[in-house]
């Protein structure tokens, strides 16, 4: 097994986010009333803050705060509403946690405000298709930009789920997004890519995208994978509610780590931290078995 590449991503605070030696766990903090995976009311910032603090205590390395649901068919919200949901959470967490904060948004106005409030990462599920100005907002703050592969809007994304070569097309479209971000001033060294499991992909498309992480590595950027509780898991385990997909999520997280993901984005942080630690340990032994020698012993 080839060693997973190491990347150092500069953060606006002057710190560096190192990706590679171990897999980082990103906790999902929904501040929405219509998340597909969490039926609890998360519009109340107090509940979201408590959830976020519990995730950090359970081992989360990053937090991803979202104020607009991106599930298929979700009702869009305006920038003001989205900001009213995420800004109180960012403000509270900046003073209480030491992990970098990410904001899941596809709006440049939200990105600018979130970064000004202390977020360090913008996670754009549209890879700049919805609002290309997001790249400029990230560049202004020297922040990190996550580009996720998707097609179409939430109400019609599955109409775009037509592929001849899933992994190859995901790579090509993300490569275009990276070039767009670079033209707007975002250094390549500040970009993370995400294959977008479940977005404009039917079940087998998502499995093919996950299995094709080696192809995504050709972009020479760190890889984030978000399989948590998503509907594509039902292609293997049957039609069960999101809350009952945690074991399937664990399998997908383990596969993601084994295939080279640098970050996994999950709801159940405590459980998935254990999955990641065990899979990382197996990877370490596999890498050493194939001749890696950097002074670290299993």
Radius of gyration of the chain (CA): 18
Give pLDDT, residue 134. 98
Catalytic (active site) residue 40: no
Strand partners of residue 63: 27, 101
| pLDDT tens, N- to C-terminus, the chain (298 residues) | 889 999 999 999 999 999 999 999 999 999 987 554 554 444 678 999 999 999 999 999 999 999 998 776 667 899 999 999 999 999 999 989 999 999 999 999 999 999 999 999 999 999 999 999 999 999 999 999 999 999 988 777 888 889 999 999 999 999 999 999 999 999 999 999 999 999 999 999 999 999 999 999 999 999 999 999 999 999 999 999 999 999 999 999 999 999 999 999 999 999 999 999 999 999 999 988 765 444 444 4
Tokens read off for 107: 């709006």
**pLDDT tens-place string over residues 44-61:** 789 999 999 999 999 999
Q: What's the burial of 149, exposed, middle or buried (CB within 10 Å: 0-12/13-18/19+)?
A: buried
Q: Rounded to an integer, what distance in angstroms lies between the CA atom of residue 265 and that of residue 195?
A: 12
| Domains parsed from the chain with CATH numbers | 7-289 (3.20.20.20)
Catalytic (active site) residue 153: no
CA atoms within 13 A on the CB side of 35: 23
Of the residues 265, 277, 292, 297, only one is catalytic, namely 265
Tokens read off for 264: 């996994």
- Distances in Å between the Cα of 25 and the Cα atoms of 30, 97, 290 are 16, 15, 26
Which candidate, 219, 198, 222, places its Cα nearest to that of 208?
Answer: 198
**What 8-state DSSP symbol labels residue 189?**
G
**pLDDT tens-place string over residues 85-127:** 999 999 999 989 999 999 999 999 999 999 999 999 999 999 9
Of the residues 112, 230, 245, 283, only one is catalytic, namely 230
């Amino acid at each position: 097994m080839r060693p997973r590449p190491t990347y150092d991503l500069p953060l606006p605070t002057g710190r560096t986010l190192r990706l590679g030696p171990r897999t980082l766990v990103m906790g999902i903090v929904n501040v929405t009333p219509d998340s597909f995976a969490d039926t609890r009311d998360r519009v109340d910032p107090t509940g979201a803050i408590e959830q976020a603090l519990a995730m950090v205590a359970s081992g989360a390395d990053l937090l991803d705060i979202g104020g607009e649901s991106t599930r298929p068919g979700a009702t869009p919200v305006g920038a003001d509403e989205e900001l009213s949901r995420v800004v109180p959470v960012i403000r509270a967490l900046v003073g209480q946690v030491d992990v970098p904060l990410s904001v899941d948004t596809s709006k440049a106005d939200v990105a600018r405000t979130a970064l000004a409030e202390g977020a360090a990462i913008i996670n754009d599920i549209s890879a700049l298709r919805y609002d290309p100005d997001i790249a400029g907002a990230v560049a202004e703050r020297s922040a990190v930009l996550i580009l996720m592969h998707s097609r179409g809007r939430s109400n019609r994304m599955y109409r775009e789920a037509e592929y001849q070569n899933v992994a190859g097309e995901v790579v090509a479209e993300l490569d275009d997004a990276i070039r767009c971000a670079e033209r707007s001033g975002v250094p390549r060294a500040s970009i993370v890519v995400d294959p977008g499991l479940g977005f404009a992909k039917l079940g087998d498309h998502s499995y093919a995208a996950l299995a094709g992480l080696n192809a995504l590595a050709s972009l020479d950027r760190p890889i984030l994978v978000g399989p948590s509780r998503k509907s594509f898991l039902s292609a293997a385990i049957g039609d069960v509610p999101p809350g009952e997909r945690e074991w399937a999520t664990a399998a997908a997280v383990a596969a993601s780590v084994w295939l080279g993901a640098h970050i996994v984005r999950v709801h159940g942080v405590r459980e998935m931290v254990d999955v990641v630690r065990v899979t990382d340990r197996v990877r370490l032994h596999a890498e050493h078995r194939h001749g890696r020698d950097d002074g670290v012993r299993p």
